[in-house]
A and B are shown apart, each in its own frame.
Chain A
Amino acid sequence: MSSAVNTQSKTFGVLVDIPKCIGCESCSVACKLYNDLKWDPKRKAKTARERAQEPNKGLWADDWTSINLYEPEKNGQKVLRFVKTQCFHCLEPACASACFSKAFQKLPQGPVIYDQSLCVGCRYCMLACPFDILKYEWEKAIPGVRKCQMCAQRGANFQIPACVSVCPTGALTCGERDELLAEARKRIKENGYIDHIFGEKEAGGTSWLYISDVPFDQMRFRTDVTTRPMPSYSEGYMKLTPLVGISWAAVLTGLYVYNNKWKEPLD
């Protein structure tokens, strides 16, 4: 993907307007078709309500996005809300920081992409992911990690992600992240939504942003997630390591020389 097309300052994202989603699942179908993902007959038969109850929120190795149906409360009344689930494409992704072979990469344009040819298969990324999005091909002899790639190739051709391109209700909007944030604030005000853009600060900020008229924690959003960028948890440690290593080796050398000076060598 050419970085000359989009400059660093232009990072793209998608705004998900939860109340606008009618659960038609066009996005899921588009995702399957564009990414050439197989349908599993058993999983295909699951309803949006059932997927919402799954531990993986309806995401499997071959299902990169899922429309889940929740029943949150609004003004004391139960309402139905469809939530599109997929990788959040963090601004500073934990998976990329946790990967010791650089199999994950954050493109300046927004997508966090994965290259199986570099992957060793340690699955540290899966545990590091603050939203538990990454899935593994457990049934394969040579497995890889699977997740939404935010249609990075389409982005390179100035096209919006497949899922966004087919949304008939305007629940999904693709654009520059800063503009999306402004748009989100506007909609929150106009529609009386909850005053919270999920993804603005979560895990240090994500490319996918959610707004809603019902509390996020009733739709299995991880609202207690840290707002510190995930890589910052290990950055300081990794920076300190070479220094600590060299100093410790120097101390050991000193001790070795000093303690062996007056003694017969051991052998």
Chain B
Amino acid sequence: MESARKRWSFKITPMRLVFAAIAALAILIIIVRMILGLGATTNLNDQWPWGFWISFDVLLGVALAGGGYGIALIVYVLRRDQFYPVARSAMLTSLLGYVIVVLGLLIEVGQWFNFWRPFVSWGHSSILFEVFWCISMYTIIQVLEFCEIGTEKVFKGWHKYFKKAMPVLLIVGITLPTLHQSSLGALYYMMVGKLDVLWWSILLPVFFLLSSFFVGPGMIILESALSGRAFNHKVDPRVFQGLMKISGGVMIVYLGLKIIDLVVAGELAKAFAFDFVSIMFLLELVCGVAIPICIAFSKLSASRKGQITFGLLTVGGVVLNRFNVVLTGMRDYLSGTLGGSYFPAWTEIVVSAGLVSIACLVYLFIAENFSILDHRGSEPVKGVMIEHGKYAYFK
């Protein structure tokens, strides 16, 4: 049995081949981007210097990976042990999310080889400076956190040291994302008068922080549903139900603040103007926040269908929110007032899809070879290989 655990496996399924194909195409485009530049591979222009890659890879990637620090807070700091079964997979998703962000940024910036400049040339008046430091430090922290899992299987001698370091890693690893999740919103302080008032607010950092936190449970539900199918693994639905309540509670605060913010700014009428901007805004708040709140605090939260719907709506809501800030909310100024135009090129979309595919493949590999989904204690769960690549587990 021990020898069965030691083997490395990576089962090739049709889905994984699709991921690999998208990743390969994306890598080709990335090579072209490196040789010919951003003009040849994106529709970005002087009026729209930020587009799909910033909204998808960076703002969204970071937000969706936010489930990691949320669950770390709930499980390790607040010790709500009932959520422990999903902790490892949530934190792994978060790590991979950040890897996408870092890779995505390296492709997105003009002079990627200069990425280290802010480490030595401190532009400390910039909110991006804080985002940069926190994201890079947090990515390293997350890799170290993963080493605690990794050393259960390889370089076992190091395991006890990583275990000892975990409390510090966890606390720093919650502090950093709290800072930069909010700072990602604060980046848009500078776009005052450009970003639509439905999104520009002094509370932007609070909105970004809260939404990155409440999207965590939704993301964990979706991710467990997907990996559950891939690995034939089930999590007790009561775990999700509890998480949905926490998420729903934060959503109520978020929704309340949003409404108060609009009332104070005197822009409530603009939210109900039912033009394109207002419809996008309402869609984001009604489908992405209000309906999930109703699901979280109703009987639906016990059913699998209700949980999946909750996951899809919350994640979709945060996706839409980030796209709205970067694209919809800037449209009136950049395309209207200035007269620019932007629609993502297919190459931009394929590269982002490719990065996600790479992350999925890495997730599948790690989940298949390390103790992630079935982790309950430091003793590795014993597994018997019943057929090639498939294990039956028992404690």
Contacts and interface: CB of A to CB of B under 8 A. Distances in A.
A143 B38 contact: yes
B123 interface: yes
Interface string B364-395: 00000000000001100000000000000000
A171 interface: no
Interface in B21-60: 34-40, 44-47, 49-50
A238 B338 contact: no
A126 B110 contact: no
B135 to A, nearest CB: 11
Contacts of B45: 138
A205 B246 CA distance: 47
Interface stretch (A16-24, A34-42, A95-103): A95-103
A120 B34 contact: no
A132 B114 CA distance: 24
A100 B129 CA distance: 5
B128 interface: yes
Given A132-B47, A132-B338, A260-B79, A121 B111 contact: yes
Contact of A100 (B110, B126, B189, B190): B126
Q: Say which size band chain A's interface belongs to.
A: 35 or more
B56 to A, nearest CB: 16
A32 interface: no
Interface string A113-141: 00011111111101110101011111111
Contact of B126 (A99, A134, A253): A99
28 contacts: A55-B339, A59-B46, A94-B190, A97-B125, A98-B190, A100-B123, A101-B114, A101-B118, A101-B121, A120-B109, A120-B112, A120-B115, A120-B117, A135-B46, A137-B110, A138-B37, A139-B37, A234-B127, A237-B183, A238-B129, A241-B183, A248-B175, A252-B73, A253-B171, A255-B77, A256-B77, A259-B79, A263-B81
A59 B47 CA distance: 11
A248 B173 CA distance: 12
Interface of B: 34-40, 44-47, 49-50, 73, 75-79, 81, 84, 108-112, 114-115, 117-118, 121-132, 163, 167, 170-172, 174-175, 178-179, 183, 186-187, 189-194, 205, 338-340, 377-378
B47 to A, nearest CB: 5
B37 to A, nearest CB: 5
A256 B112 contact: no
Interface stretch (A152-160, A176-184, A222-230): A222-230
Nearest to B174: A252
B77 A259 contact: yes
A79 interface: no
A119 B190 contact: no
A256 B167 contact: yes
Contacts of A120: 109-112, 114-115, 117-118
B193 A234 contact: no
Closest 4 CB pairs of A and B: A121-B110, A138-B39, A123-B49, A100-B129
Contacts, number: 188
Given A99-B123, A120-B114, A143-B37, A267 B163 contact: yes
Contact of A141 (B37, B108, B122): B37
B116 to A, nearest CB: 9
Contacts of A260: 79
A231 interface: yes
Contact of A142 (B84, B110, B123): B110
A76 interface: no
Contacts of B114: 101, 117-121
Given A56-B46, A120-B111, A238-B127, A100 B118 contact: yes
Contacts of B115: 120
Contacts of B37: 137-143
Given A138-B44, A233-B190, A259-B79, A248 B125 contact: no
Given A126-B49, A137-B110, 9 more contacts: A101-B117, A101-B123, A138-B44, A234-B127, A238-B124, A241-B130, A248-B175, A259-B77, A266-B84
A100 B128 contact: yes
B126 A241 contact: no
A140 B38 CA distance: 8
A249 interface: yes
B171 A249 contact: yes
B79 to A, nearest CB: 4
A192 interface: no
Contacts of B179: 241, 244-245, 248
A144 interface: yes
B121 A102 contact: yes
Contact of A130 (B172, B183, B193, B378): B193
B78 to A, nearest CB: 6
A34 B161 CA distance: 62
A168 B44 CA distance: 39
B340 to A, nearest CB: 4
B110 A266 contact: no
A255 B44 contact: no
Contact of B125 (A103, A116, A127, A234): A234
A118 to B, nearest CB: 5
A190 interface: no
A99 to B, nearest CB: 5
A191 to B, nearest CB: 30
Contacts of B111: 116, 119-121, 142-144
Given A56-B46, A241-B179, A118 B127 contact: no
Contact of A118 (B73, B121, B170): B121
A263 B80 CA distance: 11
Nearest to B125: A97
Contacts of B340: 55
A252 B171 contact: yes
B132 A266 contact: no
